[in-house]
């Protein structure tokens, strides 16, 4: 069976299939209205008490970063309109408390179902979660205790809720397999930052697997193996031990500077999508944040985030990084990243259309709000502003002019802001590469976005699996582009960073060291592995490899 992975490794464990969540509620009329209302009130109280316990655990797990899932559950449970409707339903329809809870919750879910907004959809899952909790309390059904799973468990479930993840003990639950979900589902993002091995989108997993059977998760290739023979299991166990030893070995690199074998110091930084990843950033021992993709802030919201909302988030990240650089990229929406509440024009080639900086320069008010928030947050630490998809000098100048006018506005209003905030650009278009000598004179740093640079250089849609075989970070054209950008950065005396996925590629690292890349930014959990790898590269010894790769000798 195959699935989507969010981390690497081999995990062996014992299956435990989570029973289906659906609770059957019969249509039952109420004999005593007051008694039903009292039962409902007690179930709501019990649910709130349980949420408090979950919140406590959540706080421990997230070190207080990001919004708590339990907060939104509590919000619904304390919403007098929502719970009031349930009470009223009992009176109006003379039905049992169970039936009232189900009807009112399902009505609410139906309304939300017709809305495509991903934020609303998350709230829909919250209501379904709460409905089950209240029903369990009413019907005396035991909760599935995610916090009491035996050691060695591989949990198999149709779907998981973020609140389920928060309760699991990572030392006992060795991994999870889900039938649904995608790498960007909230519970998967949480699993990633907790370090929980997970295979998602495994079709009919819950039907195909039995409690107590031993399975192997091969996360390197995204497979789950059942019915292994004793000999096969021995081989898997050896690979699992090797993987665990490797993880232990990587931990030794915490606190070490990032230095090549022949003493060249580089910076290894983290890519993040929001403050909820700060824990992982700390555990990965990142030396800064090389890319904060702010579009997730916009995508996880039901309306454009206000200046103050953004300011709070940026300030939190900057303060948490305690003087280390935090590179915040301005909104990069468009292409494959949509904002449902914002009317993006329909285009036949969205990756070549009004995307990223192009959109921001069109909708100046949208851009100004973000720039104000960024500049204000810059007075709390080491914040760097980065513009995405810059195609040439004129575009960079336009963005910088707007930034200057926003600074002037803040100055006039007497609002504190970072006066000397460094401004850099993503180099992710071939045109930017070819004029990188000129661009370097007008900005403070470059960050090479290989994810897009590869797609635009080779002409291969990064989201299309049919042409994925052409999407090659080792293509000499891509390597030459990287080389040009680094050379031009250094000629102008500015640092060159890379924040595309290629920055963590084992095969590419010796070449990047040779070219003299200054900063590598990647998923936080890749940093220690890359630090170890870099320590073994001797720049002087990679010349031949560099020549071969660039010229395909």
Binding site for ligand PEP (CB under 6 A): 291, 293, 332, 428, 449-452, 499-500
Contact 226, 205 (CB under 8 A): no
Token readout for 197 is 């091995």
CB of 287 to ligand PEP, least distance (A): 18
From Mg ion, ligand PEP, none, which one binds at residue 240 (CB under 5 to 8 Å depending on kind)?
Answer: none
Would you count residue 452 as binding Mg ion (CB under 5 A)?
yes
Kindly tell me which of 189 and 386 has the beta carbon lying closer to Mg ion.
386
Kindly tell me which of 159 and 472 has the beta carbon lying closer to ligand PEP.
472
256 included as an active-site residue: no
CA distance 443 to 386: 10
CB of 500 to ligand PEP, least distance (A): 3
Out of 176, 360, 443, 499, pick the active-site residue.
Answer: 499
Contact 17, 156 (CB under 8 A): yes
Q: How is residue 223 annotated by DSSP? A: E
Kindly tell me which of 126 and 287 has the beta carbon lying closer to ligand PEP.
287
CA distance 67 to 119: 13
Q: Which residues pair with 200 in a beta bridge?
A: 4
CB of 328 to ligand PEP, least distance (A): 13
Kindly tell me which of 154 and 499 has the beta carbon lying closer to ligand PEP.
499
Q: Pick one of 334, 449, 495, 510: the residue that binds Mg ion (CB under 5 A).
A: 449
Q: Which residue is nearest to Mg ion (CB)?
A: 452
CB of 433 to ligand PEP, least distance (A): 13
Residue with tokens 């039952």: 28
Residue 257: CB atoms within 10 A of its CB come to 12
Kindly tell me which of 223 and 472 has the beta carbon lying closer to ligand PEP.
472
CB of 428 to Mg ion, least distance (A): 5
From Mg ion, ligand PEP, none, which one binds at residue 499 (CB under 5 to 8 Å depending on kind)?
Answer: ligand PEP
Contacts 24+ apart (CB under 8 A), 105-109: 105/130, 105/131, 106/131, 108/82
Would you count residue 295 as binding Mg ion (CB under 5 A)?
no
Distances (CA, A) of 311 to 327, 379, 406: 14, 11, 15
From ligand PEP, Mg ion, none, which one binds at residue 450 (CB under 5 to 8 Å depending on kind)?
Answer: ligand PEP
Out of 73, 186, 360, 443, pick the active-site residue.
Answer: 186
User: Which among 176-184, 277-285, 342-350, 425-433 is the span making contact with Mg ion, rule CB under 5 A?
Assistant: 425-433
Contact 423, 387 (CB under 8 A): yes
Backbone angles phi, psi at 426, to 5 degrees: -80, 130
- Binders of Mg ion among residues 395 to 424 (CB under 5 A) are none
* Order of strands across the sheet that contains 198-200: 4-5, 198-200, 173-178, 153-157, 10-17, 214-218, 223-225
Q: Is 310 exposed, middle or buried (0-12, 13-18, 19+ CB in 10 A)?
A: buried
145 included as an active-site residue: no
Kindly tell me which of 1 and 458 has the beta carbon lying closer to ligand PEP.
458
Distances (CA, A) of 283 to 96, 253, 444, 462: 50, 11, 29, 30
User: Which among 42-50, 86-94, 450-458, 483-491 is the span making contact with Mg ion, rule CB under 5 A?
Assistant: 450-458
CB of 332 to ligand PEP, least distance (A): 6
Just list the catalytic residues: 186, 499
Positions in the binding site for Mg ion (CB under 5 A): 428, 449, 452
């Amino acid at each position: 069976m195959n699935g989507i992975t969010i981390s690497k490794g081999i995990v062996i464990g014992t299956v435990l299939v989570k029973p289906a969540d659906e609770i059957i509620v019969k249509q039952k009329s109420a004999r005593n209205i007051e008694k039903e209302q009292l039962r409902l009130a007690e179930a709501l109280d019990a649910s709130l008490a349980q949420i408090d316990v979950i919140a406590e655990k959540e706080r421990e797990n997230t070190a207080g970063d990001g919004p708590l899932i339990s907060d939104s559950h509590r919000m619904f449970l304390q919403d007098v309109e929502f719970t009031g409707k349930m009470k009223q339903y009992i009176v109006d329809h003379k039905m049992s408390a169970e039936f009232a809870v189900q009807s009112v919750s399902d009505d609410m879910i139906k309304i939300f179902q017709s809305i495509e907004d991903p934020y609303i959809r998350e709230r829909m899952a919250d209501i379904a979660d709460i409905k089950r909790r209240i029903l369990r309390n009413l019907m005396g059904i035991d909760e599935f205790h995610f916090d009491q799973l035996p050691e060695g468990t591989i949990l198999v479930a149709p779907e998981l809720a973020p609140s389920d993840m928060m309760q699991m003990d990572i030392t006992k639950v060795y991994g999870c397999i889900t039938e649904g979900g995608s790498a960007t589902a909230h519970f998967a993002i949480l699993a990633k930052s907790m370090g929980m091995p997970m295979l998602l989108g495994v079709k009919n997993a819950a039907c195909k697997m039995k409690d107590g059977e031993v399975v192997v998760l091969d996360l390197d290739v995204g497979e789950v193996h059942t019915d292994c023979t004793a000999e096969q299991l021995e081989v898997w166990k050896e690979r699992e031990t090797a993987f665990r030893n490797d993880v232990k070995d990587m931990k030794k690199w915490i606190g070490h500077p990032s230095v090549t074998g022949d003493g060249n110091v580089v910076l290894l930084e983290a890519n993040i999508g929001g403050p909820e990843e700060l824990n992982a950033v700390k555990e990965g021992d990142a030396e800064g944040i090389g890319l904060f993709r702010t579009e997730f802030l916009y995508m996880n919201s039901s309306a454009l985030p206000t200046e103050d909302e953004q300011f709070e988030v940026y300030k939190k990240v900057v303060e948490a990084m305690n003087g280390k650089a935090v590179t915040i990229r301005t909104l990069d929406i468009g292409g494959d990243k949509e904002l449902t509440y914002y009317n993006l024009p329909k285009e036949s080639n969205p990756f070549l259309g009004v995307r990223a900086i192009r959109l921001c320069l069109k909708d100046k008010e949208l851009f100004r709000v973000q720039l104000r928030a960024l500049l204000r947050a810059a007075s709390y630490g080491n914040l760097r502003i980065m513009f995405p998809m810059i195609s040439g000098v004129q575009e960079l100048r336009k963005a910088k002019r707007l930034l200057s006018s926003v600074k002037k506005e803040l100055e006039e209003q007497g609002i504190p802001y970072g006066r000397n905030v460094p401004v850099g650009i993503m180099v992710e278009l071939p045109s930017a590469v070819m004029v990188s000598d000129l661009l370097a004179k007008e900005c403070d740093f470059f960050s090479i976005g290989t994810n897009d640079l590869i797609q635009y250089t080779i002409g291969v849609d990064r989201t299309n699996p049919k042409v994925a075989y052409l999407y090659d970070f080792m293509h000499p054209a891509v390597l030459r582009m990287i080389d040009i950008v680094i050379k031009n950065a250094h000629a102008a005396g500015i640092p060159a960073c890379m924040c595309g996925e290629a920055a963590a590629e084992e095969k590419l690292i010796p070449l990047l060291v040779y070219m003299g890349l200054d900063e590598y930014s990647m998923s936080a959990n890749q940093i220690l592995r890359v630090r170890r790898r870099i320590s073994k590269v001797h720049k002087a010894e990679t010349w031949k490899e560099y020549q071969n790769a660039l010229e395909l000798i």
